[in-house]
Amino acid sequence: MAKPITRRWFLAQTAGLTTLGAVCPGCHFGASPNARVPNIILIMADDLGYGDLGCYGCTDIHTPAIDGLAAEGVKFTTFYSNAPECTPTRTALLTGRYQHRVGGLECALGIGNIGRYDDAIRLRQTNDMGLPAEQTTIARMLKDAGYATAICGKWHLGYEKKFFPLRHGFDYWFGPVGGAVDYFHHCEYTGQPALYQNDSTISREGYLTDLITEEAVKFIQRPRSSPFFLYVPYTSPHTPYQGPNDKKDQPVAQADYNKGSRETYIEMVERMDEGIGNILRALQDKKVSDNTLVIFMSDNGANNKGNNSPYSGYKGNLFEGGIRVPCIVKWPRVIPADTVSHQACITLDFSSSIVRVAGTKPPKDRPFDGIDILRAIETKQPVQKRTLFWRARRGENTRKAVRDGSLKYIRLQNNNDIKEYLFDLEIDPAEKNNLLSVREEDLRKLKLLLEDWEEKVNHNR
């Protein structure tokens, strides 16, 4: 009989392998293959499902601009968000590290600056719930490398000014501070104004998606001699469900925030796609399109108005539908057109790529946790086995998952109620067949991986 796998034995066997900072051969920081340092535009949709774009098989939403990016660049089929909701994914994206290293940001910040689990509640009591300025962001790294930097869109990484974008290396910010605002009145359902320009609230007429687009276009049009980094986190199609023609005299009430239809959701996505088209035309008008890297992704899966097919689950859970999302990259003369990548990757992998193509590196005391995913595409590397991790908390609920190769383990705990799942995604991508009782050795292996990762990313804030 084979000896059972123990934690000590397993970690000894894998001591030479990388799980957090695995970098594939050739994935290193250095000069871009472009002769000039490129401009970088990072566009993030909010709660957009895997199956909500034409290039991912959607038939009821018209998204020509985003589909055009896929036709001219690379579409990822196995891209994961760092979390099943807003704040933690954005934390990982900007820091290049698992969000758990920061503390208090494993759950979306509640409307009105509310902590939603014990660690966040503790930090909220001392006004420390947010992304601290000492957590060096990719915006700071690029600014220090000579880039002009801006965020036009949703922040959701802290309500106090000490957490605002200008403290993190952004030269300019326009957008909502929190997670969900009325698209016309630009306030939260508490009535609190939420639209900011730099450090101050601002009043402006218009549909929020359009205003974000307009600010992004203005930033591109500014005269400058340096390259730019533009982060465009749209709020679309996050709740409240409001199409561009749905303005009412009063803001949406809290009780109605999640009410809506697929038809309204479609209108929201299509308006965002129009905005992305305007951004791309601004690049052409400025004659910088050929030297601009454009990245598009979603921060997590969709709610039930969206389409996460062919995967199961929705935003907020760790089944594929909650974390497997669309991601597309266009980089003229570097990434071939109409490319499809099946490489498993995660939000924070793009942090490594962005910093590398900008010709800089992360701080030595804050090494990144991901791979340089674009280097893998540029050099046409074969698909590599990856080990990816998740942990999300809200109230008494703790959700954990690990994907190792094609195997995925999920652990859901609500107080003393624990549910576990084991899937082989290669043969069961919809996660219908729980292998928990028939793959016991694989189960032990994945549990040990998850336990070791949790120890490594433990924070001290």
For the annotated catalytic residues, the residue numbers are: 86, 156
How far is CA 48 from each of CA 10, 40, 253, 298, 393, rounded to the nearest angstrom? 38, 22, 23, 6, 21
How far is CA 56 from each of CA 76, 323, 340, 380, rounded to the nearest angstrom? 10, 15, 11, 22
